[in-house]
Homo-oligomer: A and B are copies of this chain.
Amino acid sequence: MYKTIQEEAYEANMQLPKLGLVLFTFGNVSAVDRDRAVFAIKPSGVAYDDLKPDDIVIVDYDARVVSGKMRPSSDTKTHALLYKTWADIGGITHTHSTYAVAWAQAGRDIPIFGTTHADHTHHDIPCAPVLTDEMIQGDYEHETGHQIIGCFREKGISHREVEMVLLQNHGPFVWGKDAAKSVYNAAVLEEVARMAHLTLQINADTAVLKDTLRRKHFERKHGENAYYGQGC
């Protein structure tokens, strides 16, 4: 019954170590089934080498386990709220990838410095502020989801235009039309974070990409008249 999203979540999770995005168990990917209103997520603290498709846990949008013998990721409530709020996303990835975490720890948005970035979004990548003490001492992982959603609302950014966020002092949360796309976006974010760091080291006064070029690169890949890729 949940075979498809279990397999999808399993395959996507196994991409994280291959792409160099995780050390040990520091990451998790989920895949949603919109018809059944449940999602499949990595079990908590299981090493990637030991992970099997059957271990993937099925939970609903309130983070209640629907199927599975293992405890789901400790970040499950964050995934749940994002799925509940943003009805058109299909997969979510959370990692502690090195460069994205460094920007999150620095508490800074990642400025859009070039076309590698603009090929994926025409905004800076936002860094949502650290949670308040009340949020941390309350329902922490649920509030983490609220902080992400609140950051997008406040900045007036659509989660369709920017499929990634940093959470200050923590790390990246990334999404997409399915689990595989969210992992792809997580790898793009790590590379863009690394390039931006190096750019500032070479020229601390470098200007961000001008608007025409931001739109050109984003549109040629994602716009109505996109001509990147094979159009399928």
Q: What are 17 contact pairs spanning A and B, CB under 8 A?
A: A23-B191, A24-B184, A24-B188, A46-B230, A98-B198, A101-B114, A104-B114, A105-B113, A107-B206, A113-B169, A115-B170, A130-B213, A136-B213, A136-B216, A137-B216, A197-B201, A201-B201
Instruction: Report which of B106, B131, B198 forms a contact with A203, defined as CB distance below 8 A.
Output: B106
Instruction: Report which of B23, B113, B199, B230 forms a contact with A70, defined as CB distance below 8 A.
Output: B230
| Residues of B with C-beta under 8 A to A152 | none
| Residues of B with C-beta under 8 A to A187 | 23-24
Q: Are B212 and A115 in contact (CB under 8 A)?
A: no
| Residues of B with C-beta under 8 A to A1 | none
| Residue picked from A96, A114, A171, A210, most chain B C-beta under 10 Å | A114
| Residues of B with C-beta under 8 A to A130 | 210, 213
| Residues of B with C-beta under 8 A to A133 | 210, 212
Q: 1/0 per position for A129-154, CB-CB distance to B under 8 A?
A: 01101001100100000000000000
Q: Are B131 and A45 in contact (CB under 8 A)?
A: no
Knowing A140-B216, A216-B140, A227-B71, say if A197 contacts B202 (CB, 8 Å). Answer: yes
Q: Are A105 and B114 in contact (CB under 8 A)?
A: yes
Bound together, the chains give a CA A131 to CA B136 distance in angstroms of: 41
Knowing A212-B136, A216-B140, say if A228 contacts B96 (CB, 8 Å). Answer: no
Instruction: Report which of B23, B102, B104 forms a contact with A188, defined as CB distance below 8 A.
Output: B23
Q: Is A103 an interface residue (CB 8 A)?
A: yes
For chain A, residues 208 to 232, give those with C-beta under 8 angstroms from any C-beta of chain B. Answer: 209-210, 212-213, 216, 220, 227-231
